[in-house]
């Protein structure tokens, strides 16, 4: 019983850590919605994403001309590559359609609400499965991780309570 409680707490803390890295600590009500219309070429970039249920990591690469790729690295150590046949933006909705290989495990459609610096996505698989993912630009994640690494305390670092 106690080990189950400890494991549940550890899982919750892990998810909270990932959520903080992905979403960032905010004092505002939520991510700012992007102005419509906007140039879809603003989304051409590399994006890092995390789902809300496990340690799966995604890399979304949107290329000019409506092409790209979605890489997935799953918690158990396996990987998947899904080629984007076409992506486009209508309003503030990004829609990515994937090439199909006939496998029910492959990705079929990625729909993202485009926020100012965040893509709030639903990935649907060919077999009907769904996954919720939040994507941030790769540069944002890399810069945030560098800043967090710089915050690792040593014996001379004073401990200060968190302020909002």
Q: How many domains does the chain have?
A: 1
**What integer pLDDT is reported at residue 10 of this predicted model?**
46
Residue 155 lies in a domain: no
Q: How far apart are CA 81 and CA 147, in angstroms?
A: 30
Q: How confident is the model over 41-91, as pLDDT tens digits?
A: 889 999 999 998 898 999 999 999 999 999 999 989 999 999 999 999 998
Residue 38 lies in a domain: yes
**What integer pLDDT is reported at residue 13 of this predicted model?**
40
Residue 157 lies in a domain: no
| Strand extents, DSSP E, the chain | 45-51, 57-63, 67-73, 79-90, 93-98, 107-114, 119-125, 130-137
Q: How confident is the model over 7-29, as pLDDT tens digits?
A: 444 444 444 444 444 444 444 45
Residue 160 lies in a domain: no
Residue 123 lies in a domain: yes
Of 116, 119, 113, the closest CA to residue 136 belongs to 119
Q: How confident is the model over 86-142, as pLDDT tens digits?
A: 999 998 999 999 999 888 889 999 999 998 789 999 999 999 999 999 999 999 888
Taking phi over 0 as left and psi of -120 to 50 as alpha, with beta for the rest, 127 belongs to alpha
pTM of the full structure: 0.70
**What integer pLDDT is reported at residue 8 of this predicted model?**
43
- Bridge partners of 30? none
Token pair for residue 23? 């979403």
Residue 139 lies in a domain: yes
Residue 164 lies in a domain: no
Give me the CATH number covering residue 102: 2.40.128.120
Q: Specify whether the CB–CB gap between 43 and 136 falls below 8 A.
A: no
Radius of gyration of the chain (CA): 18
Residue 100 lies in a domain: yes
Q: State the residue range of the domain holding 100.
A: 2-150
């Amino acid at each position: 019983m106690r080990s189950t409680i400890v494991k549940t707490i550890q899982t919750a803390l892990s998810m909270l850590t990932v959520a903080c890295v992905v979403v960032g600590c905010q004092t505002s009500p939520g991510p700012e919605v992007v102005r419509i219309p906007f140039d879809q070429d603003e989304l051409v970039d590399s994006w890092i994403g995390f789902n809300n249920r496990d340690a799966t990591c995604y890399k979304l690469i949107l290329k000019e001309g409506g092409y790209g790729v979605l890489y997935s690295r799953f918690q158990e150590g396996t990987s998947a590559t899904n080629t984007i046949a076409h992506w486009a933006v209508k309003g503030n909705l990004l829609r990515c359609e994937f090439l199909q290989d006939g496998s029910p495990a492959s990705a079929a459609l990625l729909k993202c609400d485009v926020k100012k610096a965040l893509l709030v996505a639903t990935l649907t698989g060919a077999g009907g499965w769904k996954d919720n993912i939040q994507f941030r630009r790769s540069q944002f994640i890399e810069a945030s991780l560098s800043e967090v690494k710089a915050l690792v305390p040593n014996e001379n670092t004073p401990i200060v309570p968190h302020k909002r």
